[in-house]
């Protein structure tokens, strides 16, 4: 049964929140859904955009972290911001408390322009941490063993195991996310991912049709 957490301005649009810890393969799963014709909102990419386009957010960041947060040309001084929030949980929470609402506003506007789609997907690394899963009807977790994920990120980003573990520590544990998720895709390099996506796609189509009927 679909959870009744739909946004009031788009009651007929089924919204699926997609997440997974670092190295899980959530973006790959999102691309498969896109190949099936499902619109995907990439929250992490949009968060970077709003930090240089959302006037409300820009003003709040300057007030919170100082005018040095931006260069004279209006671009974000990412190194400066990173230096403040790196290994500082309190400052990171301040940053997220500003950026997440701005990203939510962007998602609200984005979904208003979606036409002729049975459902949409919001892909976000911090879907649960930011509480944005509450804006969705269902949440989908891409799960993978820790060692698999660490190996993937080391190969992909060319960073150390310690750096991967540091990023991992900033997210909820996978066990906690499993408790919050409605659906799970296993990406352990043993089970095929595409059949799992196709099965969920059929399930979401049925739920979307059910929701549309009211």
Rounded Cα–Cα distance for residues 186 and 208 (Å):
23
The pair of structure tokens assigned to 114 is 């979606």
pTM, to two decimals: 0.88
pLDDT digits (tens, 9 = 90+) for 73-85: 999 999 999 999 9
pLDDT digits (tens, 9 = 90+) for 119-138: 999 999 999 999 999 999 99
The band of 1, judged by pLDDT with boundaries at 50, 70 and 90, is very low
* Domains along the sequence of the chain with CATH: 1-39+118-214 (3.40.50.300), 43-113 (3.40.50.300)
Report the percentage of the chain scoring pLDDT > 90.
84
Give the number of other Cβ atoms within 10 Å of residue 127's Cβ.
28
Q: In 10 A of CB 68, how many CB atoms?
A: 11
| Helix axes of 89-112 and 78-85: crossing angle, nearest 10 degrees | 130
2 pLDDT band, cuts 50/70/90, is: very low
Distance in angstroms (rounded) separating the CA atoms of residues 27 and 42: 9
Contact 123, 42 (CB under 8 A): yes
Mean of pLDDT values over 160-166: 92
Report which of residues 10 and 129 the model is more confident about. 129
């Amino acid at each position: 049964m679909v959870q009744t957490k739909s946004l009031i301005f788009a009651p007929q649009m089924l919204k699926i929140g997609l997440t997974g810890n670092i190295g899980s393969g959530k973006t790959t799963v999102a691309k498969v859904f896109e190949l099936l014709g499902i619109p995907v909102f990439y929250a992490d990419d949009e968060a970077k955009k709003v930090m240089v386009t959302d006037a409300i957010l820009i003003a709040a960041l300057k007030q919170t972290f100082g005018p040095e947060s931006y260069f004279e040309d209006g671009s974000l001084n990412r190194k400066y911001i990173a230096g403040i929030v790196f290994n500082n949980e309190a400052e990171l929470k301040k940053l997220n408390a500003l950026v997440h609402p701005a990203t939510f506003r962007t998602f609200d506007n984005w979904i208003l322009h979606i036409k002729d789609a049975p459902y949409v997907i919001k892909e976000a690394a911090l879907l649960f941490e930011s509480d944005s899963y509450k804006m969705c009807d269902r949440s989908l977790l891409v799960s993978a063993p820790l060692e698999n994920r660490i190996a993937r990120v080391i190969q992909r980003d060319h960073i150390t195991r310690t750096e991967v573990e540091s990023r991992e520590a900033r997210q909820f544990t996978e066990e906690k996310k499993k408790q919050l998720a409605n659906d799970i895709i296993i990406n352990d390099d043993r089970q095929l991912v595409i059949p799992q996506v196709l099965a969920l796609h059929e399930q979401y189509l049925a739920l979307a049709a059910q929701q549309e009927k009211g």
